[in-house]
Structure 1
Amino acid sequence: MKTMTSKICFRKLKIVILLVLLVLPLFVFPTKLTDMAGRKVDVPASPKRLVPYDAKTSILVFPCAGSKLLAKGMISGTRFLPYLSEEYKQLPTVDIKNLENVLSFQPDLIIAGAFLPEDPLEKFDKLQSKAGIPVVVVDLSLDKLDETYRFLAELLQADAACEPLISYLQRVYQQVNELKGRKSLSDVSVYYTLGADGLMTDPSGSRHTEVLDYLAVPIAAKIPLPSGGHAQVNLEQIIAWNPDYIFATAFKGDSNPAERILSNPAWKSIKAVQTKKVYVVPGEPYGWFDHPPTVNRICGLIWLSELFYDYSPEQAKADIKLFYRLFYQYDLKDTELTEMM
């Protein structure tokens, strides 16, 4: 009798264990995570519904998040966004400043890109507290993007999607670092500008000139780092700096800033204008220097490495096309690349 009772109890125990094993996957238990800013955050063990903090973040996260990414970040101005996956373009836009809009997506995680360690973190803590949704901060620094995708691979359980991105970035970093180690550009100066009159710029140390700083390209503008946005200078300053190269970003509908500078008599005494070394920074779908300053700047690294170092034109072309395929999920044609450059 005792043996039969024991057998019945054992069968019941097996049934209970089986039910627990079947039901357990239905529950998502939070896990404690340290984000790239060093913040301790309770996140879902397997996040399924993501919203980005801004456009910088959504561009970064898109190639590895798949269907988990519910929205793209807001960006100023109306943009057609060519050379970019239709899947991304069709995502609705989230306004992170509108809590009702954020909550309408029913996210289980917000991912926020930041320039670490400089960017203040209070705004992310405040959003997390107000929304009741975990906010994880990742690093947008140009030289740390491979580490960021490694972090995202673990966070999103997206190794298969992230590994090609990581491998690509590490190869580009290695090639660029080797090339710039062979040559000094100390006798060269570059002026970077955006805006209708060419008088808006950024000095060394700005996130908008991080591509130039990474490549050790001397920046002509010797001015204090602006506290927000870009710095306004005058033509007399630019003439005094006398840069060898000028890189101009089309801004707010300005179609060809380089042509405008080259045709303006007031700029004719500047060396870059005399030698016609005035270039438009490619900007489709996003700028190769900035606007917004996120993973798109890798194309700027490759482009400038071809111009200033010995990155072969054929390799540069192939690597930029591969970038568009991996990160924008768009097969860029040779004619489209030529048109951009």
Structure 2
Amino acid sequence: MNRLLVTLLAALTLSLGAQAREITDMAGRHVVIPDRIERVFGAAPPLNVLLHAVAPETMLGLSFPVPPEARPYFPERLRGLPVVGGVFGMGQQMNPESVLMQKPDVALAWKSPFIDQARIESAFARIGLPVVFVQLDTTAEWPAALRFTGRLLGHEAKAEEEARAVEQVLARVGKVVNAVPEAQRPRVYYAEGPDGLATDCHRSFHTEAIELAGGYNVFRCEPKDHMGMERVSIEQVLAFAPDIIIAQDRNFVASVGKDARWRGVKAVQAGRVLVVPRWPHNWIDRPPSIMRVLGIQWLANQFYPQAYPFELRRETREFYQRFLGVSLSDAEIDALFR
């Protein structure tokens, strides 16, 4: 540990000693944190989205840089934040000195059965930064995560409003989906990667939005690990006979209709290949986040347009304003789907 890191660690320790309180985090751990929290390090992309929704003014950095095309979808302050990485998920790996240079009061970490909690605790213990675990793998866990973070950071009213909005959407979509027998649900293939031949199991949290919206994920299996993106063959996709393809890669969507290998796929023949909006955070996956609340409504409308009407521009504009603090023009909303 070099001299700079030792100096920063000492300063952090002194500041923590001034006023402190003990909380129980969502992993059941007792954690001593500063009584007043002003600067927070989100240690993985889902935590950045959580902070963006609840207390963006506390964010001290991002897991990955904001590309030019994404800038209109971020509040001005967040666009200029440094990239400090994280300890799990997409984006660059955390540099302890870079994090401490931002003078954090606390770190938020991702609680998940697939994540080595002890390794993350050790990483932050080495730099003397208190770490609080938050559970938010599934959309159903987000209301509790919002309320917990609101209490932690002194934004209870805002977090409660957001949590109730999530619960209301889940109830509304669930009512429509529960009325449709599984055999009558659209068969959906989730295409990932530049060739569309990576996908995720129906039991994976990566594909949760498809199932919540009433789609039948044709890749029926248990996930092997947290990262997913399991390889399949074009022959498997043909046999899946999907009614709809949900794709992450825009180049794949643009070229799939011209690819002889894919022309025999039912969804391609029907022109039902949808690209997932991804700014400022992906609507359904990578990272799993509160954006799924908007994503499942968009998908439910695609799957059941009569049963679940959805005014795309209005609902998108209202969601971005409420949860993300940005006002979008019609052109900016339309650009999300290109």
**TM-score, structure 1 as length reference:** 0.83
1:109-148 counterparts in 2 under 5 A? 109-115=106-112, 117-140=113-136, 141-148=138-145
| Structure (1 or 2) with the larger CA radius of gyration | 1
Look up the match of 1:59.
Answer: 49
Is the Cα contact below 8 Å between 2:193 and 2:248 reproduced in 1?
A: yes
Structure 1, unmatched stretches of 5+, are 1-25
Look up the match of 1:153.
Answer: 150
Residue from 263, 267, 274 that aligns with 2:269: 274
Is the Cα contact below 8 Å between 2:135 and 2:145 reproduced in 1?
A: yes
Separation in 2, partners of 1:168, 1:319: 12
Look up the match of 2:85.
Answer: 95
1:178 maps to 2:168: no
Q: Which amino acid aligns with 1:93?
A: V
CA spacing shift, 1:27–1:225, aligned 2, 3 Å: closer
CA spacing shift, 1:183–1:72, aligned 2, 3 Å: same
What secondary structure is seen at the aligned counterpart in 2 of 1:265?
coil
Residue from 200, 204, 213 that aligns with 2:198: 200
Separation in 1, partners of 2:68, 2:229: 21
Cα displacement (A) at 1:186: 2.5
Structure 2, unmatched stretches of 5+, are 1-15, 87-93
CA spacing shift, 1:48–1:286, aligned 2, 3 Å: closer
1:1-341 counterparts in 2 under 5 A? 28-74=18-64, 78=67, 80-81=69-70, 82-96=72-86, 97-115=94-112, 117-140=113-136, 141-187=138-184, 188-223=186-221, 225-227=223-225, 228-250=227-249, 255-309=250-304, 310-314=307-311, 316-341=312-337
Cα displacement (A) at 1:46: 2.2
CA spacing shift, 1:27–1:101, aligned 2, 3 Å: closer
Is the Cα contact below 8 Å between 2:214 and 2:303 reproduced in 1?
A: no
Q: Which amino acid aligns with 2:111?
A: A
Q: Which amino acid aligns with 2:165?
A: Y
Separation in 1, partners of 2:255, 2:222: 27
Cα displacement (A) at 1:284: 2.2
Deviations 1:48-105 (Å, cap 9, x if unpaired)? 2211102221121123224322222236x95642322111111112134311111111
What secondary structure is seen at the aligned counterpart in 2 of 1:51?
strand
Separation in 2, partners of 1:27, 1:128: 17
Cα displacement (A) at 1:220: 1.1
Is the Cα contact below 8 Å between 1:150 and 1:166 reproduced in 2?
A: yes
Deviations 1:280-319 (Å, cap 9, x if unpaired)? 11222222121222222222111011112322122x5433
Deviations 1:193-216 (Å, cap 9, x if unpaired)? 122211111111222211113234
Of 96-105 and 156-165, deviating more is 156-165
Is the Cα contact below 8 Å between 2:40 and 2:106 reproduced in 1?
A: yes
Identity %: 30
Of 290-299 and 230-239, deviating more is 290-299
> How many residues are paired up?
309
Look up the match of 1:8.
Answer: none
Measured on the aligned residues, the alpha-carbon RMSD in Å equals: 2.2
Q: Which amino acid aligns with 1:128?
A: F
Separation in 1, partners of 2:183, 2:330: 34
Of 269-278 and 78-87, deviating more is 78-87
Q: Which amino acid aligns with 2:285?
A: D
Separation in 2, partners of 1:339, 1:47: 37
Is the Cα contact below 8 Å between 1:57 and 1:73 reproduced in 2?
A: no
Q: Which amino acid aligns with 1:30?
A: A
Deviations 1:210-253 (Å, cap 9, x if unpaired)? 11132342111235524234111111111111111111112xxx
